[in-house]
């Protein structure tokens, strides 16, 4: 068991942020599947410590980086312009969100799946492709758990197999992308070595990947922290809060963090029935 305190890490805020699809709520926290490992993580309500059911070695080798522990999010929040009152309020609301350092391959595929799907449907489809092609990594209360499939494992599935995973029209996008990585020479290593502009263009070259999926993959998979995905929520923010255009140039190089704060805050306002 590993325990530590961090005032800028809120498990629920991260789980609800829309960046990860293999976090499952448990009785006292979350079960996380990443990098072929299963982690149970919770927050002690009394001490406010984060508790991870893993060894110190595994924490240092995997989860410390995955949770982006060494990035100072308080310092990032301190960079918000004093005149940007909306963003200051958004950061106060979403200050526990961290940009996870996820596997780029998994992130690309899951965000291709995410197109025009709500989060429960995305999670369901992701678990189906993991069960169809991923390696078994354990069992929890009768539920078999699987790692996210590698490019070769995913490419081994037929279009019919993929369609059965509730992918709909996205099945052909997944098949083409898996083949590009398994047989076409594409690699996350090569992508990671690119500049932001080149990475964006390279991601958009994959079948079915548009601007939003590319920016989400850059932010949540390649940890390009200035990437700013635009969606219906951000369009709403632009129109209602910034007279039509979000001043992203003021947020560099942390635009993606600011986007997550806005996203969380705008959704909360909507749920609370506030404008």
Give domain limits for the chain: 2-70, 104-220
Q: What is the pLDDT of residue 7?
A: 85
Distances from the Cα of 239 to the Cα of 33, 236, 248, angstroms: 37, 5, 14
Distances from the Cα of 65 to the Cα of 74, 114, 159, 188, angstroms: 17, 25, 35, 18
User: Looking up tokens 């999010």, which residue turns up?
Assistant: 73
Q: What is the pLDDT of residue 31?
A: 97
- Mean pLDDT throughout 205-210? 97
**Could you tell me whether strands 2-4 and 23-25 are parallel, antiparallel, or unpaired per DSSP bridges?**
unpaired
Domain 2-70 - what CATH class?
Answer: alpha beta
pLDDT digits (tens, 9 = 90+) for 134-165: 999 998 778 999 999 999 999 999 999 999 99
CATH of domain 104-220: 1.10.340.30
Q: To the nearest whole percent, how much of the chain has pLDDT over 70?
A: 100
- Selection from 240, 199, 237 nearest residue 217 by Cα: 199
Q: Is residue 275 over pLDDT 70?
A: no
Torsion on CA atoms 225, 230, 231, 233, rounded to nearest 10: 80
In DSSP terms, 29 is beta-bridged to: 42
- Selection from 166, 78, 179 nearest residue 127 by Cα: 166
pLDDT digits (tens, 9 = 90+) for 74-117: 999 999 999 999 999 999 999 999 999 999 999 999 999 999 99
- For residue 129, what are its two tokens? 């492709």
Q: What is the pLDDT of residue 59?
A: 97
Residue 64 CB partners (closer than 8 Å, separation 6+): 70
Q: At what angle do helices 104-113 and 211-220 cross, to 10 degrees?
A: 150
Q: How confident is the model at residue 126 (pLDDT cuts 50, 70, 90)?
A: very high
Q: Is residue 273 over pLDDT 80?
A: no
3-state secondary structure of 31: strand
Gap between the Cα atoms of 246 and 113, Å rounded? 27
- Mean pLDDT throughout 224-241? 96
In DSSP terms, 138 is beta-bridged to: 145
pLDDT digits (tens, 9 = 90+) for 38-47: 999 999 988 8
pLDDT digits (tens, 9 = 90+) for 182-207: 999 999 999 999 999 999 999 999 99
Instruction: Specify whether the CB–CB gap between 263 and 234 falls below 8 A.
Output: yes
End-to-end Cα spacing for the chain: 43
């Amino acid at each position: 068991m590993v325990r530590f305190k961090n005032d800028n890490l809120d498990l629920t805020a991260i789980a609800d942020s829309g960046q990860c699809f293999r976090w499952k709520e448990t009785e006292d926290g979350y079960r996380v599947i990443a990098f072929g490992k299963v982690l149970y993580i919770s927050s002690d309500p009394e001490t406010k410590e984060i508790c991870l059911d893993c060894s110190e070695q595994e924490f240092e080798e995997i989860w410390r980086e995955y949770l982006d522990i060494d990035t100072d999010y308080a310092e990032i929040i301190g960079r918000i312009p004093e005149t940007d009152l909306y963003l200051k309020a958004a950061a106060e609301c979403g200050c526990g969100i961290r940009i996870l350092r996820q596997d780029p391959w998994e992130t690309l595929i899951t965000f291709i799946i995410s197109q025009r799907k709500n989060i429960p449907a995305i999670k369901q489809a992701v678990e189906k492709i993991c069960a169809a092609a991923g390696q078994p990594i354990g069992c929890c209360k009768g539920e078999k758990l699987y790692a996210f499939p590698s490019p070769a494992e995913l490419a081994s599935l037929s279009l019919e197999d993929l369609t059965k995973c509730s992918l709909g029209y996205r099945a052909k996008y997944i098949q083409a992308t898996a083949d590009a990585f398994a047989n076409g020479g594409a690699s996350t290593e090569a992508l990671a070595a690119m500049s932001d502009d080149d990475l964006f263009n390279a991601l958009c070259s994959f079948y079915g990947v548009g601007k939003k999926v590319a920016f989400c993959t850059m932010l949540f998979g390649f940890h390009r922290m200035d990437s700013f995905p635009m969606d219906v929520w951000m369009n709403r923010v632009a129109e209602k809060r910034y007279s039509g255009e979000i001043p992203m140039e003021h947020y560099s190089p942390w635009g993606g963090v600011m986007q997550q704060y806005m996203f969380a805050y705008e959704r909360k306002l909507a749920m609370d029935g506030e404008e």
